Amino acid sequence: MPMPASTFTIAVGSWAEMQPEACSSDGLAAERAFLPPEADFRYAGACGHMEYPCRFQNVSTTTQDIIPHRVFAPVSFRDVCQETLLQLIPACLSAAHSILGTHPFSRLDVLIVPANFPSLGMASPHLIFLSQSTLTGSSHLCGTRLCHEIAHAWFGLAIGARDWTEEWLSEGFATHLEDVFWAEAQQLAPQEAQEQQELRACLRWHRLRDEVLNSAEELQVLRPNRENTGHVSDSGASVVKHGLNPEKTFMQVHYLKGYFLLRFLAKRFGDETYFSFLRKFVHRFHGQLILSQDFLQMLLENVPEEKRLELSVENIFQEWLESSGLPKPLQRERQAGAECGLVRQVSTEVTKWIRTNQRPRKRKRRENKEVFAKLLPDQLVLLLERLLEQKTLHPQTLQSLQQTYRLPEQDAEVRHRWCELIVKHRYTKAYGQVERFLRGDQAMGTYLYGELMVSEDARQQQLARKCFELTKEQMDRASAQVVAEMLF
């Protein structure tokens, strides 16, 4: 398959190789045993791309729900990869196939990358990088991130953005689909899947709202070139707007606004109509580069007129893709919508913790004892975010919080929020946990360095400089430069 050069990736190193039991024979020979003979491929006369052996045109590949896969990891991660990751991959691949159909690529290797890798994951043809940070705690973070990267096989790789300024066409789709794939992989009942997706929508709403408040307006626009999107110079070159702006690297607006736009469209047209269309879209545009209007025009042409109402490509551009701030339809939805049950449960738990924090500390312990509910990882993230809004949490409250939820053993998303609480309330007994996070979860640590430095607390600033000195030679160069500017 012809691919943009930017998607070409090679990994060089020494890792332990792990395969599912069905793939126990040597290396690539095992993969080929799963693949149909080359003669079975038809060249894609019915497809819109240039000729290559296309999996979308072959019966034996269109029905293959789980493609051959392997995992490569440091020896120290062998056990957790075999117990968790190798069990997740088939379920996530099968879930993706059930939603989108034919896998664009014939096989998949998953590589666990070192702590200094600058993101939680990255997808390339046949190869997914996953951060070590996804393997800690429960399987939730690993599963959702794996689903996100698998979604890029369709959106970002098999279908790419003709103008990379429109990166929402890759990241927005992958963010939306990760929830759908993960619910299917877990085989959740429809009501339970909806509850979990509403909870994740709540978390993303808070992140988008915070990002909009704390970033330049020009960086919040998903289609900044407007009618000039996709235009190239006489030499054939195209310019990615804000492509050299270092702030943009740390922004999630193209993930989040893109996700909320697709979620809005799926709810507007109904999941059955929307995902049926998405399969048609993938079949029509795989192997090609697209612009936003290619997706939106085909969508509006394929849904019943009564569901379109006043929707048009132009007003979607105006409200979602070409304006800064929070899209008006999203604001109306958040104002009108009632909290889901999982969010209400978190609100109840937050009230208990506030009550616990307000009680006189001289009372006997048994009089202070609250009974706290067991929470899902995403609920824990929301709980800690809500508690970050409190002006003061006493050390006893923080200690009880840590013990109740065994926070040092949770996944990296939960531990990141916990470290924020430690820093905000100067909980010195837990500074060692902040140090471990900054050294072991470097893909997520940049924000914490900033929090340590703005606190104007000498001990916290010393902690930040100590961690940087211990890791700067191994850190990703771009991340190291950003952190150095914060510290010095």
The CATH number linked to 416 is 1.25.40.320
Q: Does residue 330 form part of some domain?
A: yes
What are 109's strand-pairing partners?
Answer: 70, 127
Residues 160 and 269 reside in one and the same domain: yes
Residues 285 and 346 reside in one and the same domain: no
Could you tell me where the beta strands, DSSP code E, fall in 264-307?
288-290
Q: What is the mean pLDDT of the chain?
A: 90
Among 17, 21, 149, 198, the one annotated catalytic? 149
pLDDT tens column, 430-441: 999 999 999 999
Query: What pLDDT does residue 28 have?
Result: 42
- At residue 33, does pLDDT exceed 60? no
Residues 292 and 331 reside in one and the same domain: yes
Q: Does residue 361 form part of some domain?
A: yes
Residues 278 and 422 reside in one and the same domain: no
Residues 33 and 70 reside in one and the same domain: yes
**312, 336, 360 - which closes a domain:** 336
**302, 336, 370 - which closes a domain:** 336
**320, 336, 352 - which closes a domain:** 336
248 and 242 Cβ atoms separated by less than 8 Å:
yes
Query: What pLDDT does residue 25 have?
Result: 40
Q: Which residues contact 118 (CB under 8 A, 6 or more apart)?
A: 442, 443, 476, 478, 479
Strand, helix or coil for residue 176: helix
Instruction: Output phi, psi for 25, to 5 deg.
Output: -80, 175
For the chain, how many structural domains are there in total? 2
Residues 332 and 349 reside in one and the same domain: no
Q: Does residue 233 form part of some domain?
A: no
Q: Does residue 243 form part of some domain?
A: no
Q: How confident is the model at residue 312 (pLDDT cuts 50, 70, 90)?
A: very high
- At residue 405, does pLDDT exceed 60? yes
Q: How confident is the model at residue 29 (pLDDT cuts 50, 70, 90)?
A: very low
- At residue 321, does pLDDT exceed 50? yes
CB burial of 130-168 (b: ≥16 within 10 Å; e: otherwise) equals: bbbbbbbbebbbbbbbbbbbbbbbbbbbbbbbbbbbbbb
Token representation of residue 343: 């969010």
Q: How confident is the model at residue 388 (pLDDT cuts 50, 70, 90)?
A: very high
Strand, helix or coil for residue 447: helix
This model's pTM is above 0.75: yes
What average pLDDT does this structure show over 263-274? Answer: 95
Residues 424 and 279 reside in one and the same domain: no
Percentage of the chain beyond pLDDT 70 is 93
Q: How confident is the model at residue 21 (pLDDT cuts 50, 70, 90)?
A: confident
Residues 113 and 193 reside in one and the same domain: yes
149 classed as catalytic? yes
Angstrom distance (rounded) from CA 460 to CA 427:
10
- At residue 311, does pLDDT exceed 80? yes
Residues 198 and 263 reside in one and the same domain: yes
Domain limits for position 119: 5-225+248-336
- At residue 251, does pLDDT exceed 90? no
Query: What pLDDT does residue 367 have?
Result: 53
Query: What pLDDT does residue 488 have?
Result: 87
Residues 135 and 38 reside in one and the same domain: yes
Residues 150 and 273 reside in one and the same domain: yes
Q: Does residue 286 form part of some domain?
A: yes
Q: Does residue 276 form part of some domain?
A: yes
Query: What pLDDT does residue 361 have?
Result: 60
- At residue 244, does pLDDT exceed 80? no
Which has more pLDDT, 3 or 296? 296
Query: What pLDDT does residue 181 have?
Result: 98
- Quick count: other Cβ atoms within 10 Å of Cβ 76? 10
Q: Does residue 242 form part of some domain?
A: no
pLDDT tens column, 59-71: 889 999 999 999 9
280 and 159 Cβ atoms separated by less than 8 Å:
no
Among the listed ranges 119-123, 228-232, 238-242, 253-257, which one has the minimum average pLDDT value? 238-242
Residues 84 and 155 reside in one and the same domain: yes
Q: How far apart are the first and last CA of the chain?
A: 47
pLDDT tens column, 83-123: 999 999 999 999 999 999 999 999 999 999 999 999 999 99
Q: CA distances (Å), 20 to each of 15, 70, 113, 388, in order?
A: 16, 7, 20, 42
Q: How confident is the model at residue 363 (pLDDT cuts 50, 70, 90)?
A: low
pLDDT tens column, 119-137: 999 999 999 999 999 999 9
- At residue 259, does pLDDT exceed 60? yes
Q: How confident is the model at residue 362 (pLDDT cuts 50, 70, 90)?
A: low
163 and 230 Cβ atoms separated by less than 8 Å:
yes
Angstrom distance (rounded) from CA 156 to CA 146:
15
Residue 97's CATH number: 1.10.390.10
What average pLDDT does this structure show over 309-332? Answer: 94
Query: What pLDDT does residue 455 have?
Result: 86
Q: Does residue 293 form part of some domain?
A: yes
